[in-house]
Chains A and B, each alone.
Chain A
Amino acid sequence: MSVWMMMLACVGLALDDFILMMGKGATLKDLTAEKTMTYAGIFGLVNMSAALVGYLISSLFENILMIKLNATLCALIFLLLGLLFVHKAVTRKSIEERLDLSFNRKQCAKIAAITNITTLFYGVGNGLMNTSLLLLMLCAFATCFVAVLSALRIGYSYGYRFARGIQGVGGALLLLMAVNVWFVFLR
């Protein structure tokens, strides 16, 4: 899997975090630069950890499965993630913009852990394809950090917007990844 394809997939996954945190930004009152960086950092670290855990989980199967089966599983994971995101885009409802005074680092970490379960599966897919772990972790951190950072500021200044379209793009990117894996490794 090329670096660019990996980055694209990470961007696709990070768009889910983007939408969630754009909604959160729309409900915050005093979002300082320090808080923005902290929340983005938490999400980045959790995302990176999820990718790592997924990668390590895949190593349980690498001696058992053949390469083609690995690629098939990987393509299937990307396909399912892509379909999940597209489904979320179609069924997504708008949020009620209501001031949230209780949001803090602990809540942020909790939300990040739940949202980034999809990255764990993505990590499994990458592990099955024997991509570079370091590159995967860097991509996972960087894309998520940038996505959450910009989402918080956009939500804070402009409110909750274009969520459906953005989620749809995320789903499309993951479906593209599934097609890419199929073309490169399975055809």
Chain B
Amino acid sequence: MEKKNNTKVILAESLRSLMQKMSFQSITIKKICDEAGVVRVTFYNYFVDKYDALDYLVQSDLADGIQVHSADPVRVLIEHLASMMMNHRRFYEVAVDIEGQNGFREIFIVQMKEALQKILQVHRKRNPEHADLSDAYLAETYAVMVFYFARTWLRTSGSTEQNFIRNALKMIHSSFYDFIDA
């Protein structure tokens, strides 16, 4: 079982490695397997297609940042996200431009939404005024916001990890009314 998981990780990391050298569109399953040192058919034992492998990478990267029982799980998640984007910057710069039905946007939002929903399930304030805003709705709204924030950060040269953490938390803490004079 451990060997199977290792092969899965190796294949996924091979995709990450290739994405730092070439466009996602030009990456074939054969190239991923050659990079991983396995035969082509092995890929289908673990993934349906390269988008599935990309989804696995994002999920694995985010996993350690989901600590729902910590004192400030949102800060932990954002700090982890910043660190992960910084460590694999080139990969995420390429990934964020993958568009289409199975694009990176959809993959990232689904994973981020799941993470935020777990936090809400444990820490949500019971406020009757917000009763009609479900956990899923809130999680998805903030997941979309984090995605666009992360995308802008990735496309800004010279942006730092501290800058990511500070501004992301500021956006999450604020409401739109904090930015307008009304």
Chain A partners chain B: yes
Contact digits for A141-183, partner B, Cβ 8 Å, 1 yes 0 no: 0000000000000001111100000000000000000000000
- Judge whether A29 and B44 touch: CB under 8 Å: yes
With A and B bound together, what is the CA distance between A30 and B49 in angstroms? 15
With A and B bound together, what is the CA distance between A98 and B28 in angstroms? 11
With A and B bound together, what is the CA distance between A88 and B30 in angstroms? 25
Task: Point out the residues of chain A lying under 8 angstroms from B47, CB to CB.
Answer: 99
With A and B bound together, what is the CA distance between A29 and B30 in angstroms? 13
- Is B5 an interface residue when CB atoms closer than 8 A count as contact? no
Sorting the interface of chain A by its residue count into under 10, 10 to 19, 20 to 34 or 35 or more gives 10 to 19
With A and B bound together, what is the CA distance between A158 and B50 in angstroms? 15
How near does chain B come to A134, taking the closest CB pair, in angstroms? Answer: 39
- Judge whether A158 and B49 touch: CB under 8 Å: no
With A and B bound together, what is the CA distance between A156 and B41 in angstroms? 7
With A and B bound together, what is the CA distance between A97 and B32 in angstroms? 12
Task: Point out the residues of chain A lying under 8 angstroms from B41, CB to CB.
Answer: 29-31, 156-157
With A and B bound together, what is the CA distance between A96 and B25 in angstroms? 9
Report A's interface with B, CB cutoff 8 A.
26, 29-31, 96-99, 156-160
Interface residues in B, total, Cβ within 8 A: 12
Task: Point out the residues of chain B lying under 8 angstroms from A26, CB to CB.
Answer: 29
**Cβ contacts A to B, 15 pairs, < 8 Å:** A26-B29, A30-B41, A31-B41, A97-B28, A97-B29, A97-B49, A97-B50, A99-B48, A99-B49, A157-B39, A157-B40, A158-B30, A158-B40, A159-B28, A159-B30
- Is B163 an interface residue when CB atoms closer than 8 A count as contact? no
Closest 3 CB pairs of A and B: A98-B49, A159-B30, A29-B44
- Judge whether B29 and A96 touch: CB under 8 Å: no
The total of interchain contacts (Cβ-Cβ below 8 angstroms) comes to 29
- Judge whether A99 and B30 touch: CB under 8 Å: no
Within 8 A of A (CB), among B30-47: 30, 39-41, 44-45, 47
Task: Point out the residues of chain B lying under 8 angstroms from A97, CB to CB.
Answer: 28-29, 49-50
Interface centre among B39, B41, B45, B47 (most CB of A within 10 A): B41
With A and B bound together, what is the CA distance between A105 and B45 in angstroms? 22
Task: Point out the residues of chain A lying under 8 angstroms from B29, CB to CB.
Answer: 26, 97, 159
- Nearest B residue to A155, CB-CB: B40
- Nearest B residue to A157, CB-CB: B40
- Judge whether A156 and B48 touch: CB under 8 Å: no
How near does chain A come to B47, taking the closest CB pair, in angstroms? Answer: 8
With A and B bound together, what is the CA distance between A29 and B45 in angstroms? 8
Task: Point out the residues of chain A lying under 8 angstroms from B45, CB to CB.
Answer: 29
Q: A97-B50, A98-B49, A99-B48 are in contact. List 17 more A-B contacts (CB 8 A).
A: A26-B29, A29-B41, A29-B44, A30-B41, A31-B41, A96-B49, A97-B29, A97-B49, A98-B48, A99-B44, A99-B49, A156-B40, A156-B41, A157-B39, A157-B40, A157-B41, A159-B40
